[in-house]
Amino acid sequence: MRIGIDARPLSVPAAGVPRVVTGLVRELEKTDQANSYYLYSHREFDLPLVNPRWHKRIGSRASRLPGIVWFLTEGRWAILEDNLDVFWSAMYVPRLALPSSVATILTVHDLEWRLYPQTMSRKTYYAHRLLVLPSVRHADGIVAVSQATARDLERISNVPRSKIEVIHHGVDPAYKPQESGRAAEYVSAKYGVSKDYALAVGTVQPRKNLTTLVEAWRLLRDRERDHPQLVVAGARGWKNTSLDETISRLGLSGNEIRFLGIVPEEDLPVLYSGSSVFVFPSVYEGFGLPLVEAMACGIPVIASNTSSVPEVVGDAALLVSPTEPEAFVEAILRLRSDHDLRKSLIDKGLRRAPGFGWGKAASQLLDFFGRVAAGKKAPSVPRAK
């Protein structure tokens, strides 16, 4: 097959969708020696390609077009010239950008725009509202990143379940247990945080529900004098006025809560490994990749009991309501006092994490490419008169 990939996510900082596309592209390039691949992006990206079957199609520097506009102009011409069998996007591509002869596969990460629109920036919300459903309904195949997302998608879009393939995200082999004391020393020296810290990872934005954690930390300060510092790794996102006001109102200092911003990818495994607990209070997730990364690093997890989170962690985490700060406090105190519970969660997480691998995900995706492409080429059966 001649397979096209929407490579726009590879040109932006490694968070969320870019990390997913990077993991799948690296694994496909390493393992698939039969098919040819073409990566399309309006901007250059830093991902070396060793396999001669892989090719970049990058927008001209003179154009400087936004990604969607580029796909309707230069990108469409490149796709036509490459005579693709399949085109896969982990974002949303306008219908007119793709020839009708190409089997189109779309990955849907979540339905935040429909279920939690108030957590999005206005620009992002309207873009999703305009593009998502037409792209989904036009696609020949859809990848949902969890069973929870598949159910949401089927209900909201009326797309038949037979058109949806569930493929979980993977975790990079770099995420593995490290000596916790040494990891905490490294993190403390480099980032200036306490050697006793709890970790949250993700873009700082309303859906991640960090306000609940902030309120929990104020309660924790009253319950336990030597409580861990809360460390948050992730880009500063949008609509965080309420979070900032809560921190100020509760009188929490940088000694109690530290925001690190974007952390280099190579530091994330050691950041997980040095933490005493991973906390994940998100109100809604399509998958929740940091959950798997934390389990793979041997860190006990406390997470919200919503959306895809129970599906991802199974029995390897303490699940609590994302709207109850007291529940997070109680879970943290339980883990700090009950060593058997802590060890049990760590062991369960280490057994569960290997079930989420980029190799497995890439193999499933490649198989789906083949089935959707074959279905696209199959002659339609005329209806009986």
34 belongs to a structural domain: yes
Report residue 205 as tokens: 């934005």
Can you name the residues that pair with 257 across neighbouring β-strands? 230
pLDDT tens digits for range 290-331: 999 999 999 999 999 999 999 999 999 999 999 999 999 999
pLDDT tens digits for range 28-71: 999 999 999 999 998 888 888 889 999 999 987 656 777 788 88
Give me the mean pLDDT over the 96-111 stretch.
Answer: 91
Residue 383 has pLDDT above 80, yes or no: no
**Do 187 and 222 lie in a common domain?**
yes
122 belongs to a structural domain: yes
Range of the domain at 107: 2-170+358-375
> What is the pLDDT of the chain when averaged over all its residues?
92
**Do 42 and 129 lie in a common domain?**
yes
d(CA 202, CA 232): 8
Residue 379 has pLDDT above 80, yes or no: no
384 belongs to a structural domain: no
**Do 187 and 157 lie in a common domain?**
no
How many domains would you assign to the chain? 2
**Do 112 and 194 lie in a common domain?**
no
Domain with 310 in it: what CATH number?
Answer: 3.40.50.2000
Give just the sign of the alpha carbon dihedral 64, 67, 71, 73: negative
329 belongs to a structural domain: yes
**Do 56 and 163 lie in a common domain?**
yes
Residue type, 368: F
Q: If 0-12 CB within 10 Å is exposed, 13-18 middle and 19+ buried, where does residue 345 land?
A: buried
| DSSP secondary structure of 5-55 | EE-GGGGS-SSSHHHHHHHHHHHHHHH--SSEEEEEESS-------STTEE
**Do 104 and 77 lie in a common domain?**
yes
**Do 240 and 128 lie in a common domain?**
no
**Do 256 and 289 lie in a common domain?**
yes
Residue 286: how many other CB atoms lie within 10 Å: 22
Kindly provide the b/e burial profile for residues 126-137, where b requires at least 16 CB atoms within 10 angstroms of the residue's own CB: eebeebbbebbe
pLDDT tens digits for range 115-126: 999 999 999 899
In terms of pTM, does the model score above 0.85? Answer: yes
Beta-strand relationship, 277-280 and 301-304? parallel
**Do 164 and 83 lie in a common domain?**
yes
**Do 148 and 74 lie in a common domain?**
yes
The predicted pLDDT at position 380 comes to 54
